[in-house]
Structure 1
Amino acid sequence: MSRQRIGVYPGTFDPITLGHMDIIRRGAKLVDRLVIGVTTNIAKSPMFSDEERLEMVRRECADIDSDILVVGFNSLLMDFAESQGASVIIRGLRAVADFEYEYQMAGMNQQINGRVETVFLMADVSLQPIASRLVKEIALYGGPIRKFVSPAICAQVEARVAQIGRKGEG
């Protein structure tokens, strides 16, 4: 009996973008089960709570015909990967700037746990500039974000911005 290949795609997903969804769809084809690990990076000033982000990711992935599990975690990535039985970490790359950071992280993760490989997927060319941080910034200044997120996520981000107030007002 062959062992199931499990991959982990970690991120804050604050909010989940079309770029994330591209990596999820493509990454799910590489493994038997894709575990999407939703984590908190307090340095990134989350717009949405952990529970809201988990719900967003689950909703956005519901129509993908693959074995996908969405799990929150707050630990070292390699400990989380081990707890999920993963043999692969999937990371998306947008640009050269991403590569330097991701290369360093992959090297550190390899030192922590050499049983788990990191696989990089290039984002679709049309989606490469999309970053959650920029989506939030554009939304906070009242700019259009519809090209970067699904309609449901767009509505959720716009509602949150209305709740907290746009920058440059008042």
Structure 2
Amino acid sequence: MRALFPGSFDPVTQGHQDVLRRAALLFDEVVVCVMFNANKTGRFPIAERLDRLRAATTDLSNVTVDSHTGGLLVDYCRRVGIDVVIRGVRGVPDLDHEMPMARMNHELAGVDTFFIAADPALAHISSTLVTVMSQQNRVSE
């Protein structure tokens, strides 16, 4: 069974990598896909995000990296024949955000969502936090 792990991955974090490694153990193939999110301003170009994901997944033989910049997530799923979406959740706020999308993806295209709880040691990490901390470190140098 193939699964899609979508996200902005701006940048890819240890939390993303943990969810991806665990998903790779559960599915025959995992496509990790950089998605365009109109609600977010990208910090890194998509090409750089793809390169970082490829570097982070070199030891995962059943993981491929792709991008999708136009249309809905379910459009991508239909086009490549994927019926399961993987979402990492850090806590209740993430689940509250993800559940309506999971229901809509199922209604629109029969795509199911598989939630993977974040490792508690990594649950505080977000791409936004990584970027803010990186910027603060540059300023203090």
1:122 corresponds to:
117
Pick from 40, 44, 48: which aligns with 1:48?
44
1:36 corresponds to:
32
Matched, 1:98 2:88: no
Distance 2:126 2:46 in 1: 18
Q: Which amino acid aligns with 1:29?
A: L
2:129 corresponds to:
134
Q: Deviations over 1:8-60 (max 9, x none)?
A: 00001011000000000011112111001111224322111010000100111
1:27 corresponds to:
23
Q: Structure 2 regions of 5+ residues with no counterpart?
A: none
Pick from 67, 70, 89: which aligns with 1:72?
67
Pick from 7, 13, 27: which aligns with 2:3?
7
TM-score (norm 2): 0.93
Distance 2:93 2:29 in 1: 29
Identity %: 38
Q: Structure 1 regions of 5+ residues with no counterpart?
A: 143-161
Distance 1:79 1:42 in 2: 16
Kindly tell me the number of residue pairs found equivalent between the two proteins.
Answer: 139
TM-score (norm 1): 0.78
Distance 2:28 2:68 in 1: 21
Distance 2:79 2:28 in 1: 16
Q: Which amino acid aligns with 2:47?
A: E
RMSD: 1.4
Determine which structure has more spread, i.e. the larger CA radius of gyration: 1
Give, in angstroms, the shift of residue 140 of structure 1. Answer: 1.4
Pick from 100, 103, 111: which aligns with 1:107?
103
